[in-house]
Amino acid sequence: MTKRMDKSTKETFNFQAEVAQVLNIVINSLYTDREIFVRELISNAADALEKFRHLTLTESDLSQKDRELKIDIMVDEKAKTFTITDNGIGMTKDELLENLGSIAHSGSADFLKRMAENLKSDVHLIGQFGVGFYSVFMVAKKVTVQTCSCHTDDPGYEWESTGDNSFTIQTKPDLSVGTKIILHLKDDAVEFAKPFTIRQSIKKFSSFVPIPIFLNGDRVNTIQAVWTRTRGEVKDEEYVEFYKYLSGGFDDPLDWMHFATDAPLSIHSLLYIPTENVEKYGFFKLESGVDLHCKKILIQKGAKDILPPYFRFIKGVVDSEDIPLNISRESMQDSLLLKKINRVLTGRLIKHFDTMSKNEPEKYLKFWKTFGPFIKEGIVSDQEQRDNIAKLLRFQTSKTKEDEMISLDEYVGRMPDNQKEIYFINGEDRSSILSGPYAEVFLDRDIELIFNFDPIDDFVMNHLGKYLDKSFISAESETIKLPEKSKIITDTSETTSSEKIDKKITKQLQTEIKKILGDKIADVRASERLVESPVILINPMSQITGAMQRIIRSVNKENIPTSHYIFEFNPHHHLIQKLSKMIDSHQTMFELVIEQLYDQAALAAGLPVEIKTHIDRIYKIIDKAVAET
């Protein structure tokens, strides 16, 4: 810095070369994002006030200790000025020279490099590198800073610059402690002398600044930063009010989680669970609803990386002192710090839900019914948390009552000792599952069967693979290792017979059915599991259930061959027994019925069936039946 003496008491200084470089970029920057200077100035003022507040606690001989701390912004459309005044710590002459003349921060070189590379479009990052103040030159042709430090008995100083290579400093008597910054706006920036424009900017960036902000005399930021207060002190109404402000909606939150940590990271966070899932209509996908703050100053609205994508339904605020102001979207992504915060918050949320399920089961069920799909998404996408998220899953089963749901822990907890696997089946609803062939053997042997009503559920179980060392096995699967039936079968129902067709006939049936179904299937055999149904299709590729195939088909718009399925018939079933007697005598009818039974089994398995052929065949069968009576 070189110094020239004026005739008056005004001294002229050259900016440090790096500052001149920054100014050059700022002055010629693109016109988007110019309003960020409001945030930068408020943030500096708030810092100065916070420092003063801190001093009042530590320094006993501080002057004007008890004055009301505030930020005053005045805009004057006629004079084309924007003026911001704070009664914070102010600056001494040396501090003025140092702070508004050079760049002390080590990151500035990076900033300059980045600015140069990105052709000035990254000017909104300016605050990140400790040069936020210079953003004023995007809108001002001249800037005057009047400041008086609370530390000295100095009269105060006036700093002035037009943003070229130099600035002036002169003494300015009778200033009160604090800083006043006057922007003489460029002709193309007079909008920043309009109260409306500035009010919008303040609301956008600084609504929760913990110090009152006045604009031309009116208080602008009336909302208290709820999240930095102690949990016990905040009333429920205040939480709800703040949620409504944040979400811009009218609904009440279902629940919230308010917590603070100090080490290893400083985090204040208030996260809300809404009542509604707006994604359920399928019109759009939510974006992150969590705003990132640093010491109550907004860094980023809807910060993407602060929570994993499957928690995008959460609304709220995260405040961390460790985050640099104005961190950019790009540097956000690879910020180690954000990753750490993300991990802490994710763990906390999962735990919060788990606790809710234990302490407030009704509320949890509501949560599950509304946001269950997001939780399932978490299992598919978050390997690290998968096992913890699995605790949050809820299911209906063959043993739950209508509307009752259980967790995997409950399922495993009530498994009999000889049951080694967790069984599930996918279907439209309870009654269609219960009337289909797959549930039979489980009902018969009193083994609990999980009901999946969403095709995604099968993917979820597939991703989980195991829970507490027990594998998930689809009831369609060939490889179920069911515990042996303990009681002797004493079947008296009408549809089944305790008599089994003899071995020779079974063999013959097998061969004939194979001839008819050909390469539609991989094999035919007598079933060990069927009780009430005549036939069933078994899936040897248990990794891809029928429901999963349905999804794959709908996405790829192509048919997956089902030729790997095994066709099983129930040798106890009266229909099969009658059929076995028609092999030779009624060949055509036998064929028709077998094909029809195949279609029936395919439908139960959720596999596609050729409708026209299916219906034509039904008519043929009816026709023959009518002819014979």
Residues that bind ligand ADP (CB under 6 A): 40, 44-45, 48, 86, 88-91, 99-100, 127, 130-133, 179
Q: Among Mg ion, ligand ADP, none, what does residue 131 contact (CB within 5–8 Å per kind)? A: ligand ADP
Per-residue x/- track, 477-506, Mg ion (CB under 5 A): ------------------------------
Q: Among Mg ion, ligand ADP, none, what does residue 327 contact (CB within 5–8 Å per kind)? A: none
Contact 482, 447 (CB under 8 A): yes
Which residues neighbour 66 within 8 Å (Cβ) at sequence distance 6 or greater? none
Q: Which is nearer to Mg ion, 132 or 534 (CB)?
A: 132
**Smallest distance, Å, CB 42 to ligand ADP?**
9
Q: Which is nearer to ligand ADP, 132 or 455 (CB)?
A: 132
Contact 179, 145 (CB under 8 A): yes
Q: Among ligand ADP, Mg ion, none, what does residue 88 contact (CB within 5–8 Å per kind)? A: ligand ADP
**Smallest distance, Å, CB 327 to ligand ADP?**
12
Q: Report residue 227: phi and psi, to 5°.
A: -65, -20
Q: If DSSP codes are grouped into helix, strand and coil, which group holds residue 404?
A: coil
Bridge partner list, 34: none
**Smallest distance, Å, CB 208 to Mg ion?**
17
Counting Cα atoms < 13 Å in the Cβ hemisphere of 102 gives 11
Q: Among Mg ion, ligand ADP, none, what does residue 546 contact (CB within 5–8 Å per kind)? A: none
Positive/negative CA dihedral, 369, 374, 380, 384 = negative
**Smallest distance, Å, CB 326 to Mg ion?**
9
Positive/negative CA dihedral, 192, 198, 201, 206 = positive
**Rounded Cα distance, 499 and 522, in Å:** 28
Which of 26, 34, 35, 44 lies at the binding interface for Mg ion (CB under 5 A)?
44
**Strand 566-569 to 535-538 pairing:** antiparallel
Give the residue among 204, 214, 162, 181 at the shortest CA–CA distance from 33: 204
**Smallest distance, Å, CB 55 to ligand ADP?**
12
**Smallest distance, Å, CB 96 to ligand ADP?**
8
Q: Which is nearer to ligand ADP, 48 or 307 (CB)?
A: 48
Q: Which is nearer to Mg ion, 134 or 368 (CB)?
A: 134
**Nearest residue to Mg ion, using CB?**
132
**Smallest distance, Å, CB 93 to ligand ADP?**
13
Token readout for 202 is 């303040």
Q: Among Mg ion, ligand ADP, none, what does residue 45 contact (CB within 5–8 Å per kind)? A: ligand ADP
Q: How many residues bind Mg ion (CB under 5 A)?
A: 2
Contact 407, 422 (CB under 8 A): no
Which residues neighbour 617 within 8 Å (Cβ) at sequence distance 6 or greater? 592, 595, 596, 599
**Smallest distance, Å, CB 127 to ligand ADP?**
6
Which residues neighbour 498 within 8 Å (Cβ) at sequence distance 6 or greater? 489, 490, 491, 572
Q: Among ligand ADP, Mg ion, none, what does residue 208 contact (CB within 5–8 Å per kind)? A: none
**Smallest distance, Å, CB 89 to ligand ADP?**
6
User: Per this entry, what is the length of the chain?
Assistant: 629
Q: Which is nearer to ligand ADP, 90 or 253 (CB)?
A: 90
Contact 573, 601 (CB under 8 A): no
**Smallest distance, Å, CB 227 to Mg ion?**
22
Neighbours of 573 (CB within 10 A): 21
Contact 193, 34 (CB under 8 A): no
Question: Which of these segments, 39-47, 256-264, 342-350, 609-617, binds Mg ion (CB under 5 A)?
Answer: 39-47
Q: If DSSP codes are grouped into helix, strand and coil, which group holds residue 434?
A: helix
Residues in region 103-142 near Mg ion by CB under 5 A: 132
Q: Among Mg ion, ligand ADP, none, what does residue 99 contact (CB within 5–8 Å per kind)? A: ligand ADP
Q: Which is nearer to Mg ion, 6 or 321 (CB)?
A: 321
Q: Which is nearer to ligand ADP, 171 or 388 (CB)?
A: 171
Question: What's 502-528 look like in SS3?
Answer: CHHHHHHHHHHHHHHHHHHCCEEEECC
Q: Which is nearer to ligand ADP, 179 or 426 (CB)?
A: 179
Q: Which is nearer to ligand ADP, 296 or 394 (CB)?
A: 296
Q: Which is nearer to ligand ADP, 88 or 308 (CB)?
A: 88
Q: Among Mg ion, ligand ADP, none, what does residue 580 contact (CB within 5–8 Å per kind)? A: none
- For the chain, give percent helix, strand, coil, nearest 5: 40, 20, 40
Token readout for 523 is 């094999």
Q: Does 88 bind Mg ion (CB under 5 A)?
A: no
**Smallest distance, Å, CB 118 to ligand ADP?**
19
Q: Which is nearer to ligand ADP, 45 or 464 (CB)?
A: 45
Q: Which is nearer to ligand ADP, 100 or 193 (CB)?
A: 100
157-161: strand order across its sheet: 3-5, 11-14, 166-171, 157-161, 140-148, 178-185, 81-86, 71-76, 213-215, 218-219
Q: Does 288 bind Mg ion (CB under 5 A)?
A: no
* Whole-angstrom Cα Rg for the chain: 36
**Smallest distance, Å, CB 369 to Mg ion?**
46
Q: Among Mg ion, ligand ADP, none, what does residue 568 contact (CB within 5–8 Å per kind)? A: none
Q: Among ligand ADP, Mg ion, none, what does residue 86 contact (CB within 5–8 Å per kind)? A: ligand ADP
Q: Which is nearer to Mg ion, 76 or 98 (CB)?
A: 98
Neighbours of 96 (CB within 10 A): 21
**Smallest distance, Å, CB 109 to ligand ADP?**
15
**Smallest distance, Å, CB 62 to ligand ADP?**
15
Burial of residue 554 (CB within 10 Å: 0-12, 13-18, 19+) is exposed
Tracing tokens 């905040």 back to the chain, one arrives at: 234
Question: Identity (one letter) of the amino acid at 440?
Answer: E
Q: Which is nearer to ligand ADP, 67 or 507 (CB)?
A: 67
Footprint of Mg ion (CB under 5 A) = 44, 132
